[in-house]
Amino acid sequence: MRSPVKTRSHAVLFRIPVRGKMWTIKLGRPPRKGAARGAKDIDGLCDYEARTIYIARRADFRATLIHEVLHATYPDLDESAIAAGEESIVAALDRLG
C-alpha cells in the first residue's frame, strides 16, 4: 500500500538545455523516487521522466547542481563516474575563485 504523498513546495529556479531538451531546476526536498526510493536525506535527484533536477536547500548547491546535471547528461554512467566528474569540475571551478 502506498502512503499518501505529502505535497511539498519546490521553487523553480531556472531551466537549462540538456542534450537538446529543456530541464527544470527546482530547489527543495527531492522526492523519494527511482534510485532514491528508500534513501534518507538526499542532496539532489535527477528525475529523467519529468526532466527535473531537485536540489535540497541544505545541499552544497553548486556541487549538487553539477552532479545532477552530469546524471541528466550521461544517464548511462554509474554513480562513481558521476561523482568523479563532479569532484574534478568542482576542483577546477574552485581554482577560478
- Closest CB to Zn ion among 10 and 72? 72
C-alpha cell at 72: 541528466
Shortest CB 47 distance to Zn ion, Å: 12
Instruction: Find the binding residues for Zn ion in span 51-90 (CB under 5 A).
Output: 79, 82
Size of the site for Zn ion (CB under 5 A): 2
- Closest CB to Zn ion among 37 and 95? 37
- Closest CB to Zn ion among 7 and 51? 51
* Contacts (Cβ under 8 Å, ≥6 apart) of 19: 72, 73
Give the DSSP letter string of 52-85.
EEEE-TTS-HHHHHHHHHHHHH-TTS-HHHHHHH
